[in-house]
Structure 1
């Protein structure tokens, strides 16, 4: 509305718009902050990281697009909510994310709860867990959707989503490595003298420089869409927990380890065929409970076998 003594209408509209924005600033800023927290991705980048140690055990982050593992997952939330993740994102316990010790950050994995069959796509954006007997730390929301919040842990199968994770890595790498580009030169114009009015001669066209070629882009998966995929329910079979102390290409090595661990409990050597060839696994178990598995794993590691891990089969 126009009042006497006020600026012209155009300026008045601008001022009015500013006043309206100022009046709603708290609400809009709060909404924006919530949206930023919901994405959980702003400020983060692609990261693999250097080898690191947790309680005497070394871990070696790497790109592994064949990754698949079974074990026990836990969840984390309130104590880390709003803090930075290992790749610089803001952790939001209400988003579907997870922490993994070695996968690239970020990556997408499918997590299947082997206790109830629930399966979900999860975005890995942090390092952890810090307990030797866990293979994945889920956000609180992911734990809720997988039906394990109350229990605190669950037997899970974790599989990397190779295509989606590769595409995301390429996108973030290209963004990080992209050089600073100088400003494009102005378009060149050729000036021509126009003929007098009424002349039959047509004016020569203005010649512009050719437009730059289209930029090559890498298809990036929609993180929000992937993370919001519905929970699936798949058929699962009963599983047991074991401590896998090692895996060897030669039976003699497996047999020596089995003998060394025999004083801690029953051991068994099993032969399996993998992409890398035939392997001989040394396992202890099955274990009657997670507490028993945790205790035995710590004992095996303390005895000089840091490669030991808890597996579900």
Structure 2
């Protein structure tokens, strides 16, 4: 969105479009091996300093952009397509692959950073309209999200996937559960439970945290870590990137 930098990648609420529940397609990863960091630049009197940040992990506000910028050049010279899984970030190298998780409903999607922005308030990322649909905030316009840079293996720096984890100490056993998401909406939790039922025994666990009620969508229990890890890998293959493995002792 090079032509629209001063517009600030403002996320505008447009009518129409639904937020699908379930697996999402992977982003276009072409060219990720040849990243461009870019020089420092100034927008609205503020200087920004692009840099390589493999451990980037931030929480903040996300917005989305679409029709107004569709077909325009992005900051790295590509054509912006609002129907692709892409995003704009102020400082990450282009392209980078990031995992964006909507903290309001637990949905997550991998996006390809190929643009600069947003330059509005405390927003940390601007996503395409298609990404906003998958993340479930197209109608709302903004959402509180977590953004994590993914490594060459497609994993965030602090990945807790059991398949790559150190074995549990002696005496620490199951049962193990694969948790897909934790959310405050029971209706959303039920839809997600139904969507992942094909992977195993899906259920909802109600918990209270800091005086608030949450609904955890989980698969299991599994007697062994390896069984849980295999289920986790299947979920990752189908786009459920926020899934994690827990024991019943983890709150």
TM-score, normalized by length of structure 2?
Answer: 0.49
Q: Larger C-alpha radius of gyration, 1 or 2?
A: 1
Q: Which protein, 1 or 2, shows the higher relative CO under an 8 Å CA cutoff with sep ≥ 6?
A: 2
